[in-house]
Amino acid sequence: MSDVVEKTLTALPSLLSLDSQSGAGKLSSTSKLGGLIRSITELTSKHEEEKLINRELAAIKEQVSSPNTSMRQMKEIMVRAIYCEMLGYEASFSYIHAIKLAQQGSAIEKRVGYLAVSLFLNESHDLLLLLVNTVLKDLQSTNLIEVCMALTVVSQLFPKDMIPAILPLVEEKLTNPKEIIRRKAVLALHKFYLIAPNQVQHIHSKFRKALCDKDPGVMTASLHIYLQLIKENPDSYKDLTGSFVAILRQVVGGKLPVDFNYHNVPAPWLQIQLLRILSLLGKDDQSTSELMYEVLDESLRRAEMNHNITYAILYECVKAIYTIYPKSELLEKAAKCIGNFVVSPKINLKYLGLKALTYVVQQDASLALQHQMTIIECLDHSDSIIKRETLEVLFRITNVKNVAVIVEKMLDFLKNVFMEPDILFLLYVGCFPLLSDTYSPNNEWFIQTMNVVFSLGGELMHPDIPNNFLRLLAQGFGSEEEEQQQLRVFAVDSYLTLLESDTAHLPQRFLQVISWALGEFSYLKDGLEPCKVTKLLAKLLDERNVTSESRSWILSAMAKLSAGPGAAALALQVSERYSSSLDTVLRQQALELLHLSQDPELHARVLPHGAAWDSFEVDSSLSFLDSFVSEALSQGAAPYKAPHQRQEELRQEKALSLEPYSISLPVSLSSCSITDRQSPTLLSMSSSLSGNSNELKAGTLKLEGVKRVWGKEGYLHQQDAVEEAAQVEEAATPALPLSPQQGGAESQQTHGDLTVVEQEKQKLASSLFVGLGSQNSTFLMGKSDSTSQQFRRKTRAADSTSSGVSERSSSSSHSSCSDFLHNNLLEDSQNSLNTQKIGVSNGTHEGPVTQSFQTTSKETSPFLDAGMVLVQPCSPQTELRDFVQPGSSGITQTSLRSQFPPELSQLPHSDISLLSSDHSLSLSACRAYRDDALLFVIILSNLKCCGSIFETFSTLIQVASLRGNALENLPAHSMSVCWYALLMEEPHTQVTVAGSVSYRAVPGHTQTLQFTDKLFLTDFIRPLTLSTEEYGKLWLSFSQDVRQNLKLIQGEGDPLRATLSALKEQLQLHIVDIIGSEGIVACRLLPDSPCLLHCRIHGGSLAVWLRSPLLSLPDCLLYYCQKTLEEC
């Protein structure tokens, strides 16, 4: 059969030349589909169309179910069904027949069958499982075209958990003699890598083979995978830089067959792919970047032709040049290139030029200055997309002097064009850093701007905006207390004015903001009667278009105000009305309001004015209810069961089992996912919330989930930079010819006959580009790397004792959301710690202290990390290897070990490794494995003189508790140990922790030592001791499973036992039972997420099924299992 196909293929060129128009199958307009289409076009109304299609579908339905329909007819029917679906009518009855067609049809029918399947079904559709066998069969076919079809459909849609079934076959195709098959196989693997990276990790070496394939098409396809891999972990692929550069050089030099040209440009897709890879590799890496300077230069030079595709290459090239380690010569050329784009009359190029500019101005603001007139013109461009891009550029160059103008432009844009949530977000993000007292022209301006933002934004607005705004109001941005109060009073004033006018047009979110701010801060305004505010709020409450969520905000604001004289009576009135509300939340709040307004003492206790934020204690365990509960229990009440437990029991009572009959079935039927449960942690959290106490309010300000983007940390640092910039600017302005005002003046002299319009533009330019002239300008809007955020905080020595505490204003909302507790507790403890230390350090006359911490955490691609070492827990008794730190006076492991506190030295722990050091401080770390957490132990040794040390540490892993001792003075050659208990919240194969230590060796001079370390999933895995019975129960309670074949260790004795015990040794698993050729193993991810493994010898390998409530845990664990067994 393959011979037939091969012959056909080789004969093709000659056939084609005979019949050049062969493809134009215009005949089919006479077919049934043609008839259908024609009759549809003749219709006049949608209603008629509906009738016609329904008739058609009924006919199709009858035909497909008839046993006499041949596959050939079926193909024709399927095409019509696809057409009906495209028109928006459902033809779900035909799905199963599409699969049948793919299964049983001959080549051309099969192709239509596959097409219909890929158009009809979704990746999660149940019927897709029926396709697996067909794909398997076709992958093994000797017919080239059938194999191609199978590979195509596999890369279009394939159920994730069935990938292992076909993976070996697809892998095998990588060595197929036909390049088209190899190429499709590589792309299919790329798809697999995207949806299930852990499944394809073992064929990594084959990717390299594909990269070196003699066919450029296969090589190009493999670059898709490499781009992805390098994106995730650039470090592991630095060695390939040379090869990529060589390939690019050959491509640019025109060494590829002409076949790969596109409009006379050699392989543009390949070029762009390579440029992208290079920019990822060269980022922040000078030596790697140096390898590519030459070829980038050549790419810039070669891409001269005036065609879109060369512009695409140029754009990518410029992006690469600005991403890698800078080289001034190249930067100059790239800047010129961007300039050409920006001034181009072609609108698409202008757009890209502006886009590149947003990217570049963060590094070099003078470029914006060069093109200021073009930017001004673009600001009035008729195309709103261009306008929007221009505004983005402007926002990147915002500074204290032009902020008002830019924000005004932005607001204009919003009013005139259309609501775009992302523009609003941009506006908001752009505004916030500017709000510090040095930045915003004044507080009033800020409040008014935010008012406009809120009223315009409406319900489209990102919920972070109001939340952060309120947080900012509550905490201030660390400015003087007085100014902060002033800001609040402004806010209260403007809100009162707003409420007094018509409120019907105000969006709900804004109403919520208003009511919260009024509730919190209206006491600050002298002479303002709480009763007046309450009246306004009551009026608002009665308005019809106010949602019940907003009502609940209003009620809680009223509760805060109800203490004042006069307000109580009104509160009483309101609470009476709402205590019969149908909405339970409102009803409860009304009752609370009633109580609070009548009992001033209680009110003062629950809602104190201006109380410190952290003076609230939240009893998340609800221990105050203990006596109540025990009393109820003793009276025979049933003990509380969490919802998931209840559901579990219910499920067990029901006779119908949705679980697969045998666990050795290779597929988990996707019908199991009907039982799709929430993770137990989530549920238990909500259950802990269900105990409602008086202090807990549902509708009040939710600050806990909100990312702290613009906290105090962000601001002071900027203020610093601004002061600097301002100073330098003052000095530089007179001397700098590029300064905008002067530039404007000059051009006015040369062109005396400038029109008024032009003059206006120039004026606008000078107001927009003011303060840019030098590299000292600050770029606050930097789209900073999403993976790393840097916070810096500068605490002034002056208000040392109060700063950490008093800036926090009261908030009446507390929930037991654990996330909030962890995050903020961590921060708070650090803050207060820091404050105390500063208090002391004032006494010893030491200047300000800078403290910074950085968070970088990412999931690194599991199988890239060649240098990764699996840490072995070792007992404290093991012999210690001495090591001498570079440049240190011989600090040995033993001496480091001696620092261990007794409670740690009992625990198994890893070797102590040096993480980072400089001339005066060295920092080592080790991991100790406690049963309930991983302890990350940091050992600081002072190598030189004395000095004070402060340190912080943060990571995206949930930090369960913190025990760090910030040191005041660390005597010379001494050490200190602190440790952190860590848990893993989301399974990752590996996470990076980063932190920094700030210390002062010489008074007044602060140094920072950065460190990073990697933690592995295995660090967080502990054995889970279970009985076989418990295991069985637990197994049935999870429905999703992952299957993988693992290597068996062939040694003496039982291979199953040997393999399992190797896994147990290395990964801290618990072997529950081994029966015959099957074994069951359990472990848990800290704190308590179980993962169950069912192993069975199958052929020469170990088949393992894993189940866990955390979906990604099995994948991550499998990775380590594979790794362990490979190493054995």
Partner 1 sequence: MYGSSMRFLLLFSRQGKLRLQKWFTPLPERERKKIVRDMTTLVLARKPRTCNFLHWKDLKIVYKRYASLYFCCALEEQENELLALEILHRYVELLDKYFGNVCELDIIFNFEKAYFILDEFLMGGEVQETSKQSIANSIEASDMLQETMEEYMSKPAF
Nearest Cα neighbor of 83 from 60, 65, 62, 64 is 60
Name which of 17 and 749 has its Cβ closer to partner 1.
17
What part of residues 242-281 is at the interface with partner 1 (CB under 8 A)? Answer: 259-260, 262, 267-269, 272
Stretch that binds partner 1, among 377-385, 533-541, 934-942, 1105-1113 (CB under 8 A): 377-385
Three-state SS annotation for 30-63: HCHHHHHHHHHHHCCCHHHHHHHHHHHHHHHHHH
Tell me the per-residue interface mask from 1033 to 1052 with partner 1, x by CB under 8 A, - otherwise. Answer: --------------------
What part of residues 498-557 is at the interface with partner 1 (CB under 8 A)? Answer: none
Min. distance of Cβ 619 from partner 1 in angstroms? Answer: 39
674 binds partner 1 (CB under 8 A): no
Stretch that binds partner 1, among 380-388, 514-522, 651-659, 774-782 (CB under 8 A): 380-388
106 binds partner 1 (CB under 8 A): yes
Tell me the C-alpha distance between 600 and 590, whole Å. 16
**Contact by Cβ (8 Å): 132, 157:** no
- Which distant-in-sequence residues (6+ apart) come within 8 Å of 871 by Cβ? 910, 911, 927, 1016, 1018, 1019
**The two three-digit tokens of residue 848, written as one number:** 């300000």
**The two three-digit tokens of residue 798, written as one number:** 């002056």
Tell me the C-alpha distance between 1103 and 1044, whole Å. 6
Stretch that binds partner 1, among 365-373, 384-392, 475-483, 626-634 (CB under 8 A): 384-392
Is residue 326 exposed (0-12), middle (13-18) or buried (19+ Cβ within 10 Å)? Answer: middle
Stretch that binds partner 1, among 103-111, 470-478, 551-559, 1043-1051 (CB under 8 A): 103-111
1007 binds partner 1 (CB under 8 A): no
Name which of 232 and 827 has its Cβ closer to partner 1.
232
Number of residues that bind partner 1 (CB under 8 A): 81
Tell me the C-alpha distance between 553 and 417, whole Å. 32
Distance of CA 159 to the CA centre of its chain: 24
**Contact by Cβ (8 Å): 1023, 1070:** yes
What part of residues 218-237 is at the interface with partner 1 (CB under 8 A)? Answer: 221, 224
Name which of 184 and 525 has its Cβ closer to partner 1.
184
786 binds partner 1 (CB under 8 A): no
What part of residues 682-701 is at the interface with partner 1 (CB under 8 A)? Answer: none
Min. distance of Cβ 848 from partner 1 in angstroms? Answer: 39
Stretch that binds partner 1, among 304-312, 332-340, 559-567, 762-770 (CB under 8 A): 304-312
124 binds partner 1 (CB under 8 A): yes
Beta bridge partners of 951: 997
Name which of 351 and 1020 has its Cβ closer to partner 1.
351
What part of residues 733-772 is at the interface with partner 1 (CB under 8 A)? Answer: none
Any idea which residue has 């579990």 for tokens?
A: 648
309 binds partner 1 (CB under 8 A): yes
Please say whether the dihedral angle defined by the alpha carbons of residues 509, 515, 519 and 522, taken in this order, is positive or negative.
positive
Distance of CA 1002 to the CA centre of its chain: 41
- Which DSSP letter does residue 660 get? -
Distance of CA 876 to the CA centre of its chain: 40
Neighbour tally for 662: CB within 10 Å: 6
Stretch that binds partner 1, among 33-41, 543-551, 861-869, 954-962 (CB under 8 A): 33-41
Interacting residue with partner 1 among 18, 26, 504, 674 (CB under 8 A): 26
**Contact by Cβ (8 Å): 584, 571:** no
347 binds partner 1 (CB under 8 A): yes
Any idea which residue has 């200190």 for tokens?
A: 976
Min. distance of Cβ 22 from partner 1 in angstroms? Answer: 7
Q: How many helices (H) and strands (E) does the chain have?
A: 45, 18
Tell me the per-residue interface mask from 139 to 178 with partner 1, x by CB under 8 A, - otherwise. Answer: -----xx--x---x--xxx---------------------
Stretch that binds partner 1, among 75-83, 445-453, 675-683, 908-916 (CB under 8 A): 75-83
- Which DSSP letter does residue 1123 get? H
352 binds partner 1 (CB under 8 A): yes
Min. distance of Cβ 183 from partner 1 in angstroms? Answer: 7
Interacting residue with partner 1 among 17, 18, 25, 1052 (CB under 8 A): 25
Min. distance of Cβ 450 from partner 1 in angstroms? Answer: 24
Positions of E strands within 1017-1100: 1021-1023, 1041-1047, 1070-1075, 1078-1085, 1089-1098
- Which distant-in-sequence residues (6+ apart) come within 8 Å of 971 by Cβ? 942, 946
Name which of 82 and 914 has its Cβ closer to partner 1.
82
400 binds partner 1 (CB under 8 A): no
103 binds partner 1 (CB under 8 A): no
Min. distance of Cβ 940 from partner 1 in angstroms? Answer: 40
What part of residues 817-846 is at the interface with partner 1 (CB under 8 A)? Answer: none
Stretch that binds partner 1, among 306-314, 401-409, 667-675, 802-810 (CB under 8 A): 306-314
Tell me the C-alpha distance between 434 and 180, whole Å. 56
Any idea which residue has 């299930």 for tokens?
A: 196
What part of residues 176-195 is at the interface with partner 1 (CB under 8 A)? Answer: 180, 183-184, 187-188, 190-191, 194-195
**Contact by Cβ (8 Å): 181, 148:** yes
Min. distance of Cβ 1086 from partner 1 in angstroms? Answer: 28
What part of residues 36-55 is at the interface with partner 1 (CB under 8 A)? Answer: 37
Name which of 59 and 119 has its Cβ closer to partner 1.
119
Any idea which residue has 């029901």 for tokens?
A: 654
Tell me the C-alpha distance between 471 and 1022, whole Å. 39
**Contact by Cβ (8 Å): 970, 948:** yes
Name which of 388 and 509 has its Cβ closer to partner 1.
388
The answer, yes or no, to whether the previous bond of 1087 is cis (omega within 30 of 0) is yes
**The two three-digit tokens of residue 476, written as one number:** 């201030």
Tell me the C-alpha distance between 1067 and 1061, whole Å. 10
Min. distance of Cβ 1044 from partner 1 in angstroms? Answer: 20
Stretch that binds partner 1, among 378-386, 487-495, 899-907, 1002-1010 (CB under 8 A): 378-386
386 binds partner 1 (CB under 8 A): yes
Interacting residue with partner 1 among 207, 226, 311, 510 (CB under 8 A): 311
Name which of 421 and 876 has its Cβ closer to partner 1.
421
Min. distance of Cβ 394 from partner 1 in angstroms? Answer: 17
What part of residues 401-430 is at the interface with partner 1 (CB under 8 A)? Answer: 420, 422
Tell me the C-alpha distance between 237 and 478, whole Å. 44
Stretch that binds partner 1, among 86-94, 579-587, 750-758, 839-847 (CB under 8 A): 86-94
SS3 790: strand
For residue 132, give the amino acid letter.
Answer: V
Tell me the per-residue interface mask from 5 to 24 with partner 1, x by CB under 8 A, - otherwise. Answer: x--xx--xx-xx---xxxxx
Stretch that binds partner 1, among 84-92, 732-740, 753-761, 1102-1110 (CB under 8 A): 84-92
